[in-house]
Structure 1
């Protein structure tokens, strides 16, 4: 069963760089508005992660070294698309609960 964001506990407080960026703040607010919507907030999650990966690559967290099932898969790929998706995967931990952040 896929966990819905509204069924999960606390969301992390996004780091200061996200509030200092107009685009990050805009996406975070859209995500917050959709958090409890019946249709979910999947699209907003993807948009925030994509923006961070593209506009703030130095702020993307490093590879997960614990039990992350996806990081080894992404690290083994050499194409540019996989690198961007991997950065988005890691960026999600900045604004999503861990149990949801590591699903993609």
Structure 2
């Protein structure tokens, strides 16, 4: 269940509804996942969860990156935990 801040943001609600409509579609909901995570990372940076401290294979990789976009991509990775099951959220 997404956290309360997402239900209070019209943009989050819009992306959550689009994600829900596409979830079981044959073509999938990859675009909606990316856009929801991007919106959270850009629009709600204080609500993005901290680095995964368990056995996340991707967080150490993102932490080592030195390019200019590493922070935003890493934030999107962590933001997916807010609206996706962990088994799917950490795939990218």
Listed as ranges, the matches of 1:62-73 within 5 Å are: 62-73=50-61
Matched with 1:75 is: 63
> Is residue 35 of structure 2 the alignment partner of residue 47 of structure 1?
yes
CA offsets 1:41-71 (integer angstroms, 9 cap, x no match):
0000000000000000000000000000000
RMSD between superposed Cα atoms in Å: 0.5
> Is residue 58 of structure 2 the alignment partner of residue 58 of structure 1?
no
TM-score under structure 1 normalisation?
0.87
TM-score under structure 2 normalisation?
0.98
Q: Which structure exhibits the higher relative contact order, with contacts defined as CA atoms closer than 8 Å and separated by 6 or more residues?
A: 1
Unaligned regions of 5+ residues in structure 1, if any? 1-12
- Counterpart-to-counterpart distance in 1, 2:63 and 2:77: 12
> Is residue 7 of structure 2 the alignment partner of residue 16 of structure 1?
no
